[in-house]
Amino acid sequence: MTVRIGLIGAGGMGRAHLARITNELSGGQIVAVADINHDAAVSAAEPYGAKAYDTSDELINDPEVDAVIIATFGKVHAPDVIKCIEAGKYVLCEKPLATTAEDCIAIMEAEQKAGKKLVTVGFMRRFDAAYNEMKAVLEAGENGQALLVHNRHRNPSVPESYTSRMAIDDTAIHEIDTMRWLLGEEIVRVRVERPKSTTHRFDHLIDPVVVVMYTESGVRIDDEVNVNLQWAYSIECELVLETAAVRLGDQEKIHIRDSQGNRNAMCQSHIDRFQGAFNREFQEWINAVARDEHTGSTSWDGYAATSVVDAAVSSLEDETSPMVEVTLMEKPAFYA
Amino acid sequence: MTVRIGLIGAGGMGRAHLARITNELSGGQIVAVADINHDAAVSAAEPYGAKAYDTSDELINDPEVDAVIIATFGKVHAPDVIKCIEAGKYVLCEKPLATTAEDCIAIMEAEQKAGKKLVTVGFMRRFDAAYNEMKAVLEAGENGQALLVHNRHRNPSVPESYTSRMAIDDTAIHEIDTMRWLLGEEIVRVRVERPKSTTHRFDHLIDPVVVVMYTESGVRIDDEVNVNLQWAYSIECELVLETAAVRLGDQEKIHIRDSQGNRNAMCQSHIDRFQGAFNREFQEWINAVARDEHTGSTSWDGYAATSVVDAAVSSLEDETSPMVEVTLMEKPAFYA
Amino acid sequence: MTVRIGLIGAGGMGRAHLARITNELSGGQIVAVADINHDAAVSAAEPYGAKAYDTSDELINDPEVDAVIIATFGKVHAPDVIKCIEAGKYVLCEKPLATTAEDCIAIMEAEQKAGKKLVTVGFMRRFDAAYNEMKAVLEAGENGQALLVHNRHRNPSVPESYTSRMAIDDTAIHEIDTMRWLLGEEIVRVRVERPKSTTHRFDHLIDPVVVVMYTESGVRIDDEVNVNLQWAYSIECELVLETAAVRLGDQEKIHIRDSQGNRNAMCQSHIDRFQGAFNREFQEWINAVARDEHTGSTSWDGYAATSVVDAAVSSLEDETSPMVEVTLMEKPAFYA
Amino acid sequence: MTVRIGLIGAGGMGRAHLARITNELSGGQIVAVADINHDAAVSAAEPYGAKAYDTSDELINDPEVDAVIIATFGKVHAPDVIKCIEAGKYVLCEKPLATTAEDCIAIMEAEQKAGKKLVTVGFMRRFDAAYNEMKAVLEAGENGQALLVHNRHRNPSVPESYTSRMAIDDTAIHEIDTMRWLLGEEIVRVRVERPKSTTHRFDHLIDPVVVVMYTESGVRIDDEVNVNLQWAYSIECELVLETAAVRLGDQEKIHIRDSQGNRNAMCQSHIDRFQGAFNREFQEWINAVARDEHTGSTSWDGYAATSVVDAAVSSLEDETSPMVEVTLMEKPAFYA
C-alpha cells in the first residue's frame, strides 16, 4: 500500500521532505501541498503532480490524503494538528509541537478523545544512527547507570533574525528531547548560564549560553549552545556512565593528512549531519502509517519539551541564572 | 514510472536486493524471480507477489520485466547477461561480470552489436560515500597526482570452501575495480606475494597475500588480503598524493572510553560496511533505467577486472611471485 | 654549579623527586632529607649518601643545603616555607601552598619582607607539554578570545580516606591553578553541583561533582570531578575559543586494532600522565636556582588557589549549590 | 660516578648530544671535543669548559676521557671505533657503524679480541617509547605472531645533495634496524621498487621508493620512503599480528577543531619526533658505562644493517627491482 501524503507549509524544510519521500524512500507518494502563499503551494506541488491548496483545511479534509506532514512555523501548528486528529489522520508535525504548554495540552486532549495516537513530533535525532548506538550502550547495562551528559550544539552562524530565546526554543530543544529519549526520564530543573559572549554574534544576542538540566533521578545534563562558531556544525554528546563514557563521533568518512595536520573535515550544516536521520524518521513513519500504527515521539514528548523550554527561557531572561523547576502535568496513562 | 525488476539467482545476495528495493528504495518493483531451484524462486518471490520462474530465459523474456538483476555464481553469468542484452533490457550483474576474459569479450561484442550500454557490473564500492570523498580530493587536484595507494582487505574469517584463488577473484577483485575507478587508469602489471601465514587459516589456504599492482602511469598499489583476522571486517585504503595522504576512516558513529581504552567498534561484515553503497548503487541504477540511461561500471570494467585477476592468479600460482603483465585488448571506442 | 637540595617529607612523592633529580635530571644533588619519622628520613637519604634529619629546622639551616623541596602534608607547609624564606633559600613546595588563606598571606608577607621571590608551588601541570601547546594556541590569538573551558578530572578510584572536601582541595585544585595560568586571569565566582552519585564510591563521598567557575572577564569554566571511574586516569580539557576549540589528547603512543575495536590504551595514574611535567618542573627549578632566579608559580598563585578552594568548599557544603564569590586581597605589586 | 665523555665530530648532531648530556641528562660530563676543523672543535668545546682536539687520536687516548661519542660521517667511522675498542673505551657511534660490511667485520673482530662489548650503534628508535609499546604488545604474545609490517618514512623535503642511494643507507636504514630489533630476527631478502615519482623532488632523485623485505621466518615488511612530502615528518608503522594490528600514533599532544577540521598538528622534524628517544638512548648509555656495562645495539646490529643496505642498494640500482638475498656471515657466539 502506498501512503498518500499531504504537506502543509511549502518552505525549505517541507520541500526537502517532498524530495526525500519521492526520490529516496519507499512507500509514500506526495498528493497535495498547502501553503497560505498560493504560488509556493503550486510550485512545490507541481514536480510531483500533486494538488495545491491555499488552506490547510482543504488538504486535511481531502479524502485522497492519508497522512499529513506539518512544516509551518511553530506558532501555527496546534490548530492544524488538532484538525488532523479530528480527521483521524496520522500527522508528522515538525518541532515544536506547539509553542505553549496549553496548546500541547489541547492536542493531547484531542488525541485522547480520538482514542488513538496519531501525532508524531519531528524530533529526528531519535532516528540518528549514532545516538541510537549510544542509547544501546546505555541500555546494555554493562557500564552502570548514567550520571552526566555533556552536550554541545554548535552552529557555524545564525542570521540576525535569530533571537536569544531561539537558543532555547529552536536550538536546545533538540537536546531537550534527545536527552529525555536517551535517558528515558523527565527533566525536572533547568538553569541557563551566560558565559563570555563571542564577538561574532549580532549585538542583540546572548551567545553562547550553557543550559544545565537535571532529570528526575538526578542525572546532570549540560548543553553548550554556541551558534556563531564560524567553523562547523558540530553536534557533540558525551554520556557519562558509571564505568564508561560514550561519545558521538564526527561521522567523518575520510581522514586527510596534509600541511594542516591529520584531520577530518567538519560537517557544515544540520542537513548533512542529519540527512540519514531524517530519512529513517520518514521511512519509519510511512511504514507505520501503512500498518495503521504510531511511531516516534508522541504529543506528550512535544508537551514535555515545550515545558522544559518554558522553564529554560525564564531562567535565561533572569540575569542571575536561577534554577527553575519544570512544571509538568501528571502523565496521562494514554501516553505511558 | 516504476521500474519492474526481475531477479535471477535467489540466494542471500539476491534476496537482500529484493528487500532493499522494496523497503528502502524508491521507484522499483519486484515482479519476477528465477532460480534453478524451484522452491528457492517461489519462496523469494512470494513476499513481493512476484512471479517465480525455474529458468532465466522465462524471466528475461517476460514482457513485464523491464530490467534484470543477476545474482548467480560468476561462472554462469555470461549467457544470461548476453540474453538480457539481446532482449534490450538493462542488467545489473553481480561481480565478476564473467570468469574468463573471453566471456567478457563476448558480452562486449553483444553489447556493441545492440548499440547501447545495457550492462552494469555490481561493483558497489564505486557508490560508497567514503571512497567518493577520497576521489573528490584527488580530482580537486590541489595535492598533486597520485603516487601510491595502500589497501587492506581484512575479513574476520572465511569458510573452508574459500580457496587461495578466491583471495584474488572474489576478494581482491573489489580493490582491482575500485583502484581503476579511483585513479581513472588501467592496471598493467601485478605480482602476488606470500607473507608468513596466519595459523587461523585452513591448511589449504595461502593467507595473507599481498597484491602489488602498477597502473599505466606508474602508480604503485598494494593490497593486503588478510581474511582470517578474527577481529573485524576492515576495508582500509590510503591514497598517497604528492602533498597529502587520504585515508578511509572506520565509519564509526560513536566512541567508547572504558577499561579497554578509547575506542570505536570495528565493523564485522561487508553488509554493515557497504549497506549504504549497495543502496545508492541500486537507487542510481533504478533511476537511470527509468530514464533509459546507463549508470555505474560497464562491461569494459568487468573485462578489465577479470584480466587483472587472471594475471594475479598466475603470479599467485608461481611460488617465485613473478611480476605478470596484464594483457588487455584495445579499448573499443564504444566504452571510451 | 650543582644545586644542593634538601627534601622535607620522605613520603612517596618526596622519594619520587629524589629519584628524578638523581637519575633523570641535570644539575641537582640530594644532600639532606628531613622527616619526623626518623627511619623514613634515613632510608630515603641513604641511597643518595645524603644526611638524615629529624626536623625541618636542621635541614633548612644546614649551610650545605642550597634549596629545599617540601613534600609534607598541606597543613604543615606554612611554617617550613616561611623558615626557608627567612633563610634566604629557594623552596619548591608541593600544592597546596597552605590550607588557609591566612597562612598564604603570612607566606607572602615574609617573602615581600625578604624582597625576593623564593617560593615555587608545585603545580606541575604548568609544565605539561600538552597544556603548553593549548596555551600557545590561545596566545597566538588567531582564534579570538577564550569563552569557555570544559575540564574532566577523572580518576580510576580513591581510597576510603578520600573525603568530599578533597574533591576540591586535593583534586580540583589542579584545574583551579591550571585555568588561572592558562587564561591569565583570576577566578571570581564558583559553584559546586552534585550530579547523581556513582555506586562505585564509598558511601560518605559526594562523587561525581561539577565545579562551575567564572573568571574576571566572564570565561565560564566547568570541571567534572569524577574519581571512581574504574577505567582510567583521564585528564581532559577543552578550551573553547571564538573560532576554534582546542582539546588535550590522550597522550597515547600507539593504537591497537583488535576485537575490542580501534583503540588507544588509557592512562591509569597521574604519575604516568604527568611524569614529563614533573621532570620539566624540577629541571627548570634547578636551572633557575642555579641562576639565582625564580621560576614557576608564585606564593600569590598558591594564595589564589586556596581562596578559590575555600569558596568552592563552602558551595559544596550547601546542598543548594549556591554561587559563591571568591574573596581576594588586592594583588601586591611584588607579584605583578 | 660522573662519566667523562669525549665527542668526535663537532657538527649539528654532535653538538645536540653535548647539549642534551649537559642540560637534560644525569651522570655525564663533556670533557673533550675533537674535529678536523679546529675552529669547530674549539667553539663546540668552549661552552662546556672542555678540551678541543684536532685529531680523534688525541681524544681517544686522553686518560680523562672515559667514553666516546662518534658523530662524524659514516665513511670515517671504522678507524675511530676500532681505536676506541683498542683503548678499552665504550663508544656510541652514530649510524651507520660503517659503510661496508668489511669495515663492520673488522670492528667485530677488534671487539671480540678485546673480549668485551664496547660498541653501541646510534639507532635511537630502539629507545622510542612508542616503538617499545608496540614491541611489548608483540612480546605479550596474546595476539599471535607477526605476519606483516607496513612502514612509512616520510620527510617534508630533502636537500639537493641527497641521493637516491641515501633513501636506503641514510633513511630506510632506520626501519632496517628497527624491524630487526622489533621482530627479533634477521632480514634475508630485499627488493626496492619505484612508484611514480613526485614532482617535488630534485630531478636526479628516485622518490618515493618502496623497500620490501622478508625476515628469516617469512614476515613481510614494506617501507615507503617518501622524502619530499611537503607536509610532515611522519614515521608510521603498522605491525600486523595474527589477531591484532598495532600502529604508531602521531604522538600528538592536543587536537584542534576549527575551519580546517578536527585535527592534530603533524610533526615537522626528526628532532621533534625522536627527542625523547635520543635522551633515553644517551641516558641509558651513560648509566651503563658508569656500571661498566654495554647497552643498546651491538656491532653485529651495525653489520647486519649495513648488509641489508648493500642488498637493497643493488636492487635499487637495477631497474627491474630484483629480489636480492642478504648475505650474512655466521653470527659469532660473542654477539648471541
Q: So where are chain D's domains?
A: 3-124+276-298, 126-269+304-335
At D265 the pLDDT is 82
Taking contacts as CB-CB distances below 8 angstroms, the residues of chain B near D200 are 144, 242-243
Taking contacts as CB-CB distances below 8 angstroms, the residues of chain B near D146 are 196
- Give the mean pLDDT of A243-270: 93
At D107 the pLDDT is 98
Shortest Cα distance, chain A CAs vs residue C258, angstroms:
19
| Chain segment C199-223, per-residue pLDDT in tens | 999 999 999 999 999 999 999 999 9
> Can you read off the three cell numbers belonging to residue A15?
520541500
Asked if B133 and A253 come within 8 Å (Cβ–Cβ), the reply is yes
| Residues linked to residue A67 through DSSP beta bridges, in sequence order | A5, A90
Give the whole-angstrom CA distance, residue B56 versus residue B61. 9
Taking contacts as CB-CB distances below 8 angstroms, the residues of chain A near B244 are 256-258
In the Cβ-directed half-sphere of C293, how many Cα atoms lie within 13 Å?
Answer: 7
Would you tell me how many other CB atoms lie within 10 Å of the CB of residue B54? 14
Would you tell me how many other CB atoms lie within 10 Å of the CB of residue D184? 12
Asked if B262 and C266 come within 8 Å (Cβ–Cβ), the reply is yes
Residue C1 has pLDDT above 80, yes or no: no
Taking contacts as CB-CB distances below 8 angstroms, the residues of chain C near B261 are 256, 260-261, 263-266
**Cα→Cα distances C140→A197, A324, C182, D232, Å:** 20, 40, 13, 21
| Res. A48 pLDDT band, cuts 50 70 90 | very high
For chain B, list residues with pLDDT below 70: none
- Give the mean pLDDT of A2-27: 95
Cα-based angle A260, C182, C237 (whole degrees, multiple of 5): 65
Taking contacts as CB-CB distances below 8 angstroms, the residues of chain A near C210 are 148, 220, 222
CB-based contact C190:C211 (threshold 8 Å): yes
At C265 the pLDDT is 81
At B181 the pLDDT is 98
CB-nearest to B210 from D194, D220, D242 is: D220
Nearest CA in chain C to A320: C323
Give the whole-angstrom CA distance, residue D224 versus residue D195. 10
Q: How many CB pairs under 8 A join A and C?
A: 91
Shortest Cα distance, chain A CAs vs residue B48, angstroms:
12
Count how many residues are written for chain C: 336
| Res. A4 pLDDT band, cuts 50 70 90 | very high
| Chain segment C87-144, per-residue pLDDT in tens | 999 999 999 999 999 999 999 999 999 999 999 999 999 999 999 999 999 999 999 9
**Cα→Cα distances B139→B112, B134, B145, B213, Å:** 30, 9, 9, 21
Taking contacts as CB-CB distances below 8 angstroms, the residues of chain A near D266 are 257, 259, 261-262
Chain C residues with CB under 8 Å of a chain A CB are 144-148, 150, 193-200, 208, 210, 212, 214, 217-220, 222, 224, 226, 229-231, 240, 242-244
Residue D33 has pLDDT above 80, yes or no: yes
> Can you read off the three cell numbers belonging to residue A93?
508535525
At C268 the pLDDT is 87
CB-based contact A246:B256 (threshold 8 Å): yes
Taking contacts as CB-CB distances below 8 angstroms, the residues of chain A near C146 are 196
At B193 the pLDDT is 98
Asked if A231 and D264 come within 8 Å (Cβ–Cβ), the reply is no
Stated as kind and residue range, the H or E segment containing B20 is helix B12-23
Burial state string for D114-126 with b = 16 or more CB within 10 A and e = fewer than 16:
beebbbbbbbbbb
Q: Is the ipTM of this complex over 0.85?
A: yes
> Can you read off the three cell numbers belonging to residue B85?
542484452
Chain C residues with CB under 8 Å of a chain D CB are 22-26, 129-130, 133-134, 137, 143, 243-249, 251-259, 264, 283, 287
User: What's the sign of the alpha-carbon dihedral C99, C100, C104, C110?
Assistant: negative
Give the whole-angstrom CA distance, residue D56 versus residue D54. 7
At A268 the pLDDT is 87
Work out the angle between the directed axes of helices D101-114 and D299-316 (0-180°, nearest 10).
170
Shortest Cα distance, chain C CAs vs residue D131, angstroms:
8
Burial class (CB in 10 A: 0-12, 13-18, 19+), D275: middle
Taking contacts as CB-CB distances below 8 angstroms, the residues of chain A near B258 are 143, 243-245
CB-nearest to A195 from C147, C199, C229 is: C147
Nearest CA in chain D to B266: D244
At C4 the pLDDT is 98
Nearest CA in chain A to D230: A259
- Give the mean pLDDT of C39-63: 98
At C165 the pLDDT is 97
**Widest CA span in chain B:** 64
Residue D1 has pLDDT above 80, yes or no: no
Domains A3-124+276-296 and A126-269+304-335 share a fold: no
| Chain segment A160-187, per-residue pLDDT in tens | 999 999 999 999 999 999 999 999 999 9
- Give the mean pLDDT of C74-84: 97
What does DSSP assign to residue D32? E
Taking contacts as CB-CB distances below 8 angstroms, the residues of chain D near C263 are none
Chains touching C, CB cut-off 8 Å, 3+ pairs:
A, B, D
What does DSSP assign to residue B221? E
Asked if B250 and C262 come within 8 Å (Cβ–Cβ), the reply is yes
Give the whole-angstrom CA distance, residue D302 versus residue D94. 10
Of the candidates C297, C274, C273, the residue with the CA atom closest to the CA atom of residue C285: C297
At B72 the pLDDT is 97
CB-based contact A292:A171 (threshold 8 Å): no
| Res. C266 pLDDT band, cuts 50 70 90 | confident
| Chain segment A193-239, per-residue pLDDT in tens | 999 999 999 999 999 999 999 999 999 999 999 999 999 999 999 99
Rg over alpha carbons for chain B, rounded to the nearest Å, is 20
Topology of domain B3-124+276-298 in CATH is: Rossmann fold (3.40.50)
Give the whole-angstrom CA distance, residue C176 versus residue C181. 9
CB-based contact A181:A124 (threshold 8 Å): no
Mean pLDDT over each residue of chain C, to the nearest integer: 97
- Give the mean pLDDT of D161-186: 97
> Can you read off the three cell numbers belonging to residue C53?
634529619
Residue D101 has pLDDT above 80, yes or no: yes
| Chain segment A121-148, per-residue pLDDT in tens | 999 999 999 999 999 999 999 999 999 9
At B43 the pLDDT is 98
CB-nearest to C256 from D246, D255, D259 is: D246
Asked if B244 and A253 come within 8 Å (Cβ–Cβ), the reply is no
Q: In the CATH scheme, what is the homologous superfamily, with its name and number, of domain A3-124+276-296? A: NAD(P)-binding Rossmann-like Domain (3.40.50.720)
Q: In the CATH scheme, what is the homologous superfamily, with its name and number, of domain D126-269+304-335? A: Dihydrodipicolinate Reductase; domain 2 (3.30.360.10)
Residue A266 has pLDDT above 90, yes or no: no
Chain C residues with CB under 8 Å of a chain B CB are 230-232, 234, 250, 252, 256-266
Taking contacts as CB-CB distances below 8 angstroms, the residues of chain C near B264 are 261-263
Give the whole-angstrom CA distance, residue A295 versus residue A287. 9
Asked if C244 and D253 come within 8 Å (Cβ–Cβ), the reply is no
> Can you read off the three cell numbers belonging to residue C236?
581532559
Would you tell me how many other CB atoms lie within 10 Å of the CB of residue B37? 13
Sorted by sequence, the CB contacts under 8 Å of residue C146 that are 6+ apart come out as A196, C138, C183, C219, C239, C240, C241
What's the CATH class of domain B126-268+304-335?
A: alpha beta
Chain B residues with CB under 8 Å of a chain D CB are 144-148, 150, 193-200, 208, 210, 212, 214, 217-220, 222, 224, 226, 229-231, 240, 242-244
| Res. C267 pLDDT band, cuts 50 70 90 | confident
Residue A260 has pLDDT above 80, yes or no: yes
At C311 the pLDDT is 98
Taking contacts as CB-CB distances below 8 angstroms, the residues of chain C near A146 are 196
Burial class (CB in 10 A: 0-12, 13-18, 19+), D157: middle
Of the candidates A210, A182, A155, A158, the residue with the CA atom closest to the CA atom of residue A297: A182
| Chain segment C148-181, per-residue pLDDT in tens | 999 999 999 999 999 999 999 999 999 999 999 9
What's the CATH class of domain C3-122+276-297?
A: alpha beta
Nearest CA in chain C to A238: C152
CB-nearest to C261 from B230, B259, B263 is: B263
